[in-house]
Amino acid sequence: MLKQNAEAPASPAVVTLTTTADLAAFCERMVAEEFITVDTEFLRETTYYPKLCLIQVAGAEEAALIDPLSDGIDLAPFFALMANSKVLKVFHAARQDFEILIQLSGGLPQPVIDTQIAAMVCGFGDQVGYEAIVRKLVGAQIDKSSQFTDWSRRPLTAKQALYAISDVTHLRVVYEKLRAQLHETGREGWLDDEIALLVAPSTYQVDPEESYRRIKARIQNKRQMGVLMSIAAWREREAQNRNVPRGRVLKDEALAEIAIQMPQKPEDINDLRLVSKGTANSSVGAAILKSVAHGLARDPKSIPDFKGRGEEMTPAQQAVAEVLKLALKVACESENVAPKLLASAADIDAIAVNDDAQVALLQGWRREVFGAMALDIKHGKACIGLENGRAVLIKRSS
């Protein structure tokens, strides 16, 4: 059934789609569009996997709210539209949207543009928010009072519907203006690497054995690192199996404490400060002890070097990293590009330690913009100076 939303903008026309037939007809019309804008609303506060609650799509003349919670609706027509290579799909901050789509359909939209990435290329700052970019490029103000609404409740209010559809109607203007800026500056190619990463299925594959990388812990030796790897992998699988947030199983800080203290009997778990009392005699306590034992039994050759984590840098390396981070800000101001698009803090730390660090900053256009200069600064061939009251990067004469 099609329901006209009373408060939706007059143009484009907006409907809510609650049946497969109406969804299929709408998606068939969207195939004729040069580009469509797409967004999703979801909940994940109490689950590991996000729950899709609403899909918003806009073309040039019409827009729709797709209700995936409607009884009997089949989203296959929407997934086919996402896979249609003739229609460009425009998202803003698409990563979580894509996480949902690949989970539900097994595939990712193609071709795509992420306007958050495009805005970073155009100098709008790191991870610019949608409301801010709409204010600047569209001149519109978005009512954010529905931002943290419960999107799983039905029926949606007119206010919720208007907020949701504005995410894709304003996005059309945002994309058109960013596209013009990218063409004017010749930076279309700068997006290629980021978009390639965004649409790579491997980006959304969660390997429990790699989950230790997200944990900040002051690891001192390979035994502790082995335990961290094992306990983090167990927590990831447990969260997936129970479909609960990771922190509901054990918090990151507790994993770090377990890795460092390496409890090997129930009373050792009782001594842990960040693990709930009573855990020792539970199934979680047994799993902790099993994971610790597994970690301690790992072949040391299979454990990556625990050094190179931020806290393990020497004072001299830390000083180099701080200078390079300042230089990055100077370079980005000069080039009018967001710092995070060029390099993360971890990338800078890696270069401070190793000239041949395997980071994006030392590859392609990023190396041309700042990577090569970063190495010159590290080795005294360039420096940060002042010119007419502004910080600049200066190559030193030989």
Instruction: With a cut of 70, say whether residue 379 has pLDDT above it.
Output: yes
C-alpha–C-alpha distance, residues 361 and 370, integer Å: 7
Task: Name the least confident of 296-300, 308-312, 372-376.
Answer: 308-312
| Per-residue pLDDT tens over the stretch 203-217 | 999 899 999 999 999
Instruction: Give the pLDDT of residue 269.
Output: 96
State the pLDDT confidence band at 189, using cuts at 50, 70 and 90: confident
* Closest C-alpha to 345, from 366, 364, 326, 331: 326
Instruction: With a cut of 80, say whether residue 156 has pLDDT above it.
Output: yes
CATH architecture of 2-204: 2-Layer Sandwich (3.30)
Q: Please state the domain extents for the chain.
A: 2-204, 208-302, 310-395
CA 389 to chain centre: 36
C-alpha–C-alpha distance, residues 102 and 205, integer Å: 10
Instruction: With a cut of 60, say whether residue 241 has pLDDT above it.
Output: yes
C-alpha–C-alpha distance, residues 286 and 30, integer Å: 54
Instruction: Give the pLDDT of residue 7.
Output: 40
| Per-residue pLDDT tens over the stretch 41-59 | 999 989 999 999 999 999 9
- What percentage of the chain carries pLDDT values higher than 90? 79
Burial of 150 (0-12, 13-18, 19+ CB in 10 A): exposed
Mean pLDDT across the stretch 309-335? 87
C-alpha–C-alpha distance, residues 185 and 200, integer Å: 27
| Per-residue pLDDT tens over the stretch 273-299 | 999 989 999 999 999 999 999 999 999
Q: Under CATH, what is the fold of the domain 310-395?
A: DNA polymerase; domain 1 (1.10.150)
Q: Which amino acid is at 4?
A: Q
State the pLDDT confidence band at 169, using cuts at 50, 70 and 90: very high
| DSSP secondary structure code for residue 305 in this structure | P
- CATH classification number, 208-302, choose in 1.20.1250.40, 3.10.310.70, 3.40.30.10, 1.10.150.80: 1.10.150.80
Instruction: Give the pLDDT of residue 398.
Output: 63
Instruction: Give the pLDDT of residue 307.
Output: 56
State the pLDDT confidence band at 312, using cuts at 50, 70 and 90: low
| DSSP secondary structure code for residue 279 in this structure | G
CA 133 to chain centre: 18
| Per-residue pLDDT tens over the stretch 49-86 | 999 999 999 999 999 999 999 999 999 999 999 999 99
DSSP for 322-337 reads HHHHHHHHHHHHHHT-
State the pLDDT confidence band at 317, using cuts at 50, 70 and 90: very high
Topology match between the domains 208-302 and 310-395: yes
